[in-house]
Amino acid sequence: MPYIFKDRCNIQNIMEYLSTNDLGRAIAVYKFYDMSNSYNAAEFSFEEAQKQTNIYKKFYFLKEAIIGFNSCYDYPLQIIYFAFDFFEKITSCEEYKKVLKDKCKKNKWKGNTFQETVFFEDIDRLKRTNNNAKDFFKEFDNYINFASNPDYGIRQWANNIKHQGGFVASDILKHDKVAYVECLQDDLLTFTTEWLYPHTPSFDEIINRLIKQIDNLTQFIDWLCESILGDTQIIDFKSKPKLFSAGKYTQDIKFSMIMPKVATQ
Domain span holding position 212: 6-159+203-239
Q: What rounded mean pLDDT belongs to the chain?
A: 88
Say what the pLDDT of residue 265 is: 59
- Quote helix, strand, coil % in the chain, to nearest 5: 60, 5, 35
Q: Coil, strand, or helix at residue 71?
A: helix
pLDDT at 20 over 80: no
Q: Is residue 172 part of a domain?
A: no
Mean pLDDT computed over 15-31: 82
Rounded to whole angstroms, the Cα distance separating 75 from 95 reads 18
Q: For 93-97, 146-150, 158-162, which range has the lowest pLDDT when averaged over its residues?
A: 93-97
How confident is the model over 217-244, as pLDDT tens digits? 999 999 998 898 876 555 555 557 889 9
Q: Is residue 183 part of a domain?
A: no
How confident is the model over 70-122, as pLDDT tens digits? 999 999 999 999 999 999 888 889 989 988 888 888 877 676 777 888 999 99
Q: Is residue 111 part of a domain?
A: yes
Q: Is residue 247 part of a domain?
A: no
Vertex 126: Cα angle to 28 and 154 (nearest 5): 55
Rounded to whole angstroms, the Cα distance separating 194 from 182 reads 8
Q: Is residue 261 part of a domain?
A: no
Q: Is residue 198 part of a domain?
A: no
CA distance to 32, 127, 143, 249, per residue, from 245 (Å): 19, 12, 21, 9
CA atoms within 13 A on the CB side of 201: 21
**Domain total for the chain?**
1
Say what the pLDDT of residue 10 is: 67
What global pTM score does this model have?
0.89
Q: What is the residue-wise DSSP string for 170-183? A: HHHHHHHT----EE
Q: Is residue 97 part of a domain?
A: yes
Say what the pLDDT of residue 105 is: 82
